[in-house]
Amino acid sequence: MDTRQTRPERRRLTHVDRAGRPRMVDVSEKAETARRAVAEALVVCSQDTLSAVIDGGGPKGDVLTVAELAGVMGGKKASELIPLCHPLGLTDLLVSVTPDRTVSGLRVRAEAATTGRTGVEMEAMVAAAVAALTVYDMVKGVEKGVEIRQVRLVSKSGGKSGEWHRLVDESGAAGAAPAPAPRAEIPKGTRGPARGGPMRRSPAG
C-alpha cells in the first residue's frame, strides 16, 4: 500500500483561471452580507512640513480637507482603477487624515462598508492610498522627499471568510498602527483648518 502523503493542493489566485488567464471572480452564488473594511497609510514628512499642514500654510491650502475628500472620491472609483475589482454600491465611506507629531507625519484611515456579495477591502485601500497621494501633491512644493508608507488593510468583516484583523507585535512594527486620534484632539492652540472636525464621509446616494 502506498503510504506516501499527497502534497496539499497549492492555493490558486482567485483572479486567474487554470489556463493562467485573468478573470473577474463570479460572486453570483455568494450570499449578500454586511461587509466592512478598514485600511490605513502613513505619510512621513519633516516637522516643518507637518507644521505647515497643521497651520494651513501650505502652498495649496487646506491639506487635510482636500486629502480627505480625495480619499472618498478615490474609494468610490476603485473598480475603475483596479481592472478585476467588482463595482459596488457603497453604503458608507469615511476617510480621516490626522497629523501625528510622534511619527513626524500624517496618519490616513479609511473605512468602507457595503451590503453585498463581495468585500470592500479594495475600496478602503484605494481611499487610503489616494488620500496619501493627495497629501504628497499638496506639500511637494515645500518638501519633495515626503514618503508614503504602510498602505495596508487593517481589518475586514463579513462574507464567508468572516473577520480578519492585522496583528500587532510588541514593537508595533509588524501590525496596524494605533488608531488615529479624532481631529478634535489636536493640541490646544492649533491654528487654521486643522482644528477639530468630522471625518469626510461619502454623500448619501
Active-site residue (options: 2, 62, 137, 169): 137
Main-chain phi, psi angles of 96, to 5 degrees: -130, 140
Quote the CA–CA distance of 64 and 77 in Å, as a whole number: 20
- H-type helices in the chain, by residue range? 47-55, 63-76, 78-81, 121-139
CB of 49 within 8 A of CB of 142? yes
Assess whether 137 carries a catalytic annotation.
Answer: yes
**How many angstroms separate the most distant Cα atoms in the chain?**
79
Residues annotated as part of the active site: 137
